Structure formats: C-alpha cells, structure tokens
Amino acid sequence: MWTAVDPAREFHSSYRYTTNPIGFLDLNGLAELRVALFMKEYSQNPKMVDNLQAYYGQFVKKGDNLKMEAFDGNSIDNMLSFLKSGDKAALLAHGSPNDGNVYDNKGGTISFESLNKGMTSLLKDMTLFVDACWAKENLAVPEGGVNPTPNLQAAEGASGLHKVGPGAMKSLGVEVPEKK
C-alpha cells in the first residue's frame, strides 16, 4: 500500500524511511532499534548494559523496541549481525582524532573502512549512526568529495561515550531530555 500513513506518524509512507523500499518495509510504523556498545568494559559487565538500556528505553516511542548489546574486538562479526537485526542501528565506541578507527578501549580496533565494508555487505542500504569521540571529524566528507563510507554517518552531536550516547539515540529518533 504505497499511500498508507505511517501509524507512528514518523513518515508519510511505510516505504519512506529507507532508500530501499523493496528490501526494508515499515508496515506498522514501529521500529526495532539496535545499539551496539563497542566497549570491553560493558561487554564484561552485563549489568551496565541493562542499566543503560533501561534508562534510554523509557524515552523510546510506544511500540518501538530498543535492544542494546556490548561487544569487544573479538566479536565484530557478531556485532554486525546484531545491528543487521534491527530497522535502525547505532554504534557507541571510543574514537580518536583523524585516525579512522573506533576502539573498545581494551585493545580492540575497527577501522571505519572495514566497518563500512561490513555494513555494506550485511546491511545494504541501512545507515549506521556512529557516536564516538571524533566521529564527525573522521567521517567528514571533503568539500566536493565522495563519501568513502556511505553507510556510516556521525550521530547527532557525536559526543561518544563521554555522554554515553544521546547523539546516537537522537539519530535513531529517541528524544532524550537534557540532564540538568
């Protein structure tokens, strides 16, 4: 039904939320949100992940489903598969200026180039919002240039783990109030 209104009133059509309306349909207007925490300290402490998911889960639109999982440098393929299982995906990680990598802070490293290849082969037209320190700088496209990582986009704010993900959540459509 190409003229259907999105029940969540997020888009004018259930085919609008993606660049590939044949491969990705949003028939009920509700989203499966996936957030991968690429950080070893979280992967070694599931309670931290549960607490973070409970906090952000209270701001998710009714009917949407938020799932967070932590990964380290030894589980990159599992992380990409997890992200693929959602309608919208974000990655929270550590980063550093202009080196083109994200880190799990305990020795695990993924380059944006290899992350983009994994996203392209697994997720096709899906965008991965990266919320890492220096994500904006690392993912910036030179003026007039071609984006070498088309499936990756810096999350709004791209504050990284210094604020633990509000930029990623906003990019996924979850409005988190500012802490006072």
36 pLDDT more than 80:
yes
| DSSP letter string, 105-120 | SSS-EEEHHHHHHHHH
153 pLDDT more than 90:
no
Q: pTM to 2 decimals?
A: 0.75
154 pLDDT more than 50:
yes
Query: Is 16 part of any domain?
Result: no
Quote the tokens at residue 59. 């701001």
pLDDT in tens, 54-105: 988 998 988 889 999 999 888 888 988 898 888 888 888 888 777 788 888 7
Report the DSSP pairing between strands 32-38 and 65-71. Answer: parallel
Quote the tokens at residue 129. 């919002």
Query: Is 177 part of any domain?
Result: no
Quick one: pLDDT at residue 8?
53
Element (H, E) at 176: none
CATH of residue 163: 3.40.50
Strand partners, 109: 103
Which amino acid does the sequence have at 138? Answer: N
Quick one: pLDDT at residue 80?
86
Contact of 74 with 82, CB cutoff 8 Å: no
More confident residue, 117 or 164: 117
More confident residue, 102 or 136: 102
Query: Is 5 part of any domain?
Result: no
**Neighbour tally for 62: CB within 10 Å:** 6
Query: Is 137 part of any domain?
Result: yes
Domain range for 81 is 32-171
Query: Is 72 part of any domain?
Result: yes
Query: Is 23 part of any domain?
Result: no
Query: Is 25 part of any domain?
Result: no
Mean pLDDT computed over every residue of the chain? 75
More confident residue, 14 or 180: 180
Query: Is 93 part of any domain?
Result: yes
Quick one: pLDDT at residue 1?
44
Quick one: pLDDT at residue 149?
76
Contact of 124 with 163, CB cutoff 8 Å: no
38 pLDDT more than 80:
yes
Quick one: pLDDT at residue 70?
92
How many structural domains compose the chain? 1
Q: pLDDT confidence of 2, banded at 50, 70, 90?
A: very low
**Which residues lie closer than 8 Å to 46 by C-beta, 6 or more apart?**
70
